[in-house]
Every structure is written in structure tokens, then in C-alpha cells.
Amino acid sequence: MKIDIITAFPKMFVGSFTESIIGRAIKNKIININFINIRSFSNDKHKKIDDRPFGGGCGMVIKIEPVYYAIKSTGVKKKNKKYKNFYTKPLVIYMTPQGKILKHKLILDFSKYKHLVIVCGHYEGIDERIKNYVDEEISIGNYVLTGGEIPAMVLIDSITRILPGVIKSDSIKNDSFFNGLCDYPSYTRPVVFKNHKVPDILLSGNHKNINDWRIKKSYNKTIKHKIDSK
């Protein structure tokens, strides 16, 4: 999978993408991450990419021109039409607090693409006309961060770990939300820690009873936390 990240702050990603699972996925050429600096497409001699909002107000807004040309540089010719060559064309995703909340089903859909283009806003966001050039608007929650870089890291991490060859398939099948439920509780050694003991059933060796217990706990945890992964 190729992932183009359009951002004004590419250095923010360095630590996240050189360690652990994502670092190995890049090394093993399962994913190819490319950073596109919005400032490279600014027509301002100082490489300025933002300006004051029309109508007044606080903060600065990223201009549409440099973002448009940054998107165009990835090979995206026009906005995708859903379900026509659905997974073969690059998908352009804009990380914004006003987008759809990221859930497991969306992650599964995105993981099927060969090429993702992720646009990171900053400041007071990007000129609203950006919506004419993106396919999806995605949020990681109903709150506001300083920019779209951290949400982009979350999105890429969640997609990368379910790609074939990144981690063991059995581990993915036991994830929370894989089957619409939270994951069951997990324990390891020591058996007793400060008077808190591992449930006896996990020490019994009866795999059928253990499996039944885990399913029950998954349902209970899902109901308790009112989880909706759809």
C-alpha cells in the first residue's frame, strides 16, 4: 500500500513511523509512506500557506491552492466515484473534526486500497473548498487537536496493523471490534499480584470453558461500555 501524507509539518511523523509495527511494515515494504509538504506548492516567496479568514474571526486558514496542487501531485486526477473501480483509484482522506468518526468498518474499507492520500489540516483548518477534492472526511473523535497530523498517525496505525503480513492473523481476529465486540480480559504471570488473582478458569486447562468465558466477558464488556463499532 502506498500512503501519501499531505502536511505542513512532516517532521511530526518521524518517531511514529520508525518504531515498532509500522517501522517493520515500512522496512518489509508492505507500506510505502511518502510525505508531501504543502509549503512546496505555495506561490508565496516566503512559502506562506495560510491567510486571514473572509468575514473576520480568529486564527488563520490554510489556502486552497497549495493543498489542491499537493493532492494533484499524487496522481489523483479527479474525485473518485464510489463503487466504480472502488479500490483501484487513490482514495483522498481529509482529517477534520467535522468528519465521520473513525470506526473499525471504515478501517477495513480503507485497508483494501492500494493508494491512500491523507490530507492534514492545521490552524483553523483548510479553506472549505477542499471538500470538492477529497473522497472522505474523517475524525478520530468529537474534540479538536492542533492539527490533522496526530489523527493521520492514528488512521495509518489502525490500517497498517491489519494488512496481510504485518502481524499474525490470529491476533487480528482477537482484536476488539473485529467481530463487533470488545476484546476479552487478558492476564499473564504472576498468578497473584497484591492479592489480585488470575481467574481460576484461565488456569483450569479446559479450553472449551475458557472460550465460553471469554465470549461471555466480551459481550459483558461491550454492553457495559455501550460500544458501537458499526
The answer to whether residues 5 and 116 touch, using CB atoms and an 8 Å cutoff, is no
214 among known catalytic residues: no
53 among known catalytic residues: no
Active-site residue, selected from the candidate residues 97, 137, 157, 185: 97
Q: How far apart are CA 169 and CA 165, in angstroms?
A: 8
The answer to whether residues 107 and 159 touch, using CB atoms and an 8 Å cutoff, is yes
52 among known catalytic residues: no
Active-site residue, selected from the candidate residues 4, 66, 127, 161: 161
Active-site residue, selected from the candidate residues 65, 109, 124, 183: 124
Q: How far apart are CA 48 and CA 66, in angstroms?
A: 10
- Report, in angstroms and rounded to the nearest whole number, the Rg of the chain calculated over CA atoms: 21
Dihedral sign for Cα 183, 189, 195, 198, please: positive
Burial of 202 (0-12, 13-18, 19+ CB in 10 A): middle
Active-site residue, selected from the candidate residues 175, 183, 185, 214: 175
124 among known catalytic residues: yes
> Terminus-to-terminus CA distance in the chain, angstroms?
24
Spell out the long-range contacts of 206-213 with Cβ–Cβ below 8 A and sequence spacing 24 or more: 213/184
Q: How far apart are CA 36 and CA 4, in angstroms?
A: 7
- Residues labelled as active-site residues: 97, 124, 161, 175
